[in-house]
């Protein structure tokens, strides 16, 4: 059966010291708990090694928020998948809408990143989602289908099975405007069908599909109650341990 997962995406927040303190707080909250889901934090590159040293990865998974589309070499300022793996991290967010929107990440680039992540034993948390205009003009299902097909459908079934997907409607990210549970369920069920048509029902049923976009302790229980919503990718609310744990405990 597919895993239930709550993952935090800290984005470009916290200094190293603040980040280590926050990770310790989440780690401590989990130490005495038996959550009904896997818990992951994705943090800035600069924080990875230090946070790895203070958390128990049996209880709290660690990931990066991005990695380069090249393995090594003259790419000033980039951080490669092998570098991320060498910190002890085991997850990497790829294709976040902020990367697509502000840094020009295309499906072609994302294909490379996914391949490099998998080659370095990192589990990609691959993000897809439509913008408001696409929601409003009714093309949102097709848009998300194309994002999945273009970046991921060259993978073997075996490799595809290693992915976690995150549906993040761009209009819901950081806006306080959450997709309704029915809107999330419609999309998640559709994504599962798209996967089933390509890789078969077993792969589709075993793929965790997370919802992201203004998810908080108050709306998480309703969203997570939907049969095809397997958890959340949490931005703002992952920056306070109590709020993040409130979402973890929504399961
Ligand atoms: P918010 O939870 O702040 O809306 O961000 C969601 C997100 O982008 C997680 O990747």
List, for residues 85-115, the tens digit of each pLDDT value. 999 999 999 999 999 999 999 999 999 999 9
Q: Which percentage of the chain shows pLDDT scores above 70?
A: 100
Q: How far is the CA of 234 from the centre of ligand 1 (A)?
A: 5
Q: 140-152 vs 181-199: helix axis angle to the nearest 10?
A: 40
Atom of ligand 1 at shortest distance to CA of 127? 10
**What are the tokens at 160?**
């595809």
Structural domains of the chain ordered from first start: 5-241 (3.20.20.70)
**pLDDT the model gives residue 176:** 84
- Residue 96 is a catalytic residue: yes
pLDDT (0 to 100) of residue 32: 86
- pLDDT mean over 80-87: 98
**How large is the greatest C-alpha to C-alpha distance in the chain, in angstroms?**
48
Residues 47, 65, 96, 105: which is the catalytic one?
96
What is the Å distance from ligand 1's center to 237 Cα?
8
Closest CA to 193 of 240, 144, 239: 144
pTM: 0.98
Sign of the dihedral through C-alpha 71, 208, 183, 147: positive
pLDDT, tens only, 164-204: 999 999 999 988 888 999 999 999 999 999 999 999 999 99
Note the pLDDT of residue 248: 98
pLDDT tens digit sequence for 22-77: 999 999 999 989 999 999 999 999 999 999 999 999 999 999 999 999 999 999 99
Alpha helices in 137-216 (DSSP H): 140-152, 157-160, 181-199, 201-206
Short-list 75, 150, 62, CA closest to 110: 150
CB 144 within 8 A of CB 128: yes
pLDDT recorded at residue 136: 95
């Amino acid at each position: 059966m597919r895993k239930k997962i709550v993952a935090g995406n800290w984005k470009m927040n916290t200094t190293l010291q603040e980040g280590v303190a926050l990770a310790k707080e989440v780690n401590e909250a989990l130490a005495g708990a038996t959550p009904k889901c896997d818990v992951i934090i994705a943090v800035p590159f600069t924080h990875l090694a230090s946070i790895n040293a203070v958390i128990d990865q049996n209880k709290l998974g660690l990931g990066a928020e991005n990695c380069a589309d090249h393995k090594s070499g003259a790419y000033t300022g980039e951080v490669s998948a092998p570098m991320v793996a060498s910190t002890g991290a085991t997850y990497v967010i790829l294709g976040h809408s902020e990367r697509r929107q502000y840094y020009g990440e295309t499906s072609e680039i994302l294909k490379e990143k996914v391949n490099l992540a998998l080659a370095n034993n990192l589990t990609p948390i691959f993000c897809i989602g439509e913008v408001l205009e696409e929601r409003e003009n009714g093309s949102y299902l097709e848009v998300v289908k194309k994002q999945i097909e273009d970046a991921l459908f060259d993978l073997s079934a075996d490799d595809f099975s290693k992915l976690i997907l995150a549906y993040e409607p761009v209009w819901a990210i950081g806006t306080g405007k959450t997709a309704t549970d029915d809107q999330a369920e419609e999309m998640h069920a559709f994504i599962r069908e798209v996967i089933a048509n390509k890789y078969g029902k077993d792969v589709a049923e075993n793929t965790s599909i997370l919802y992201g976009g203004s998810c908080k302790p108050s709306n998480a229980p309703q969203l997570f109650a939907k049969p095809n919503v397997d958890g959340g990718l949490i931005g703002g609310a992952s920056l306070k341990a109590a709020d993040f744990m409130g979402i973890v405990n929504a399961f």
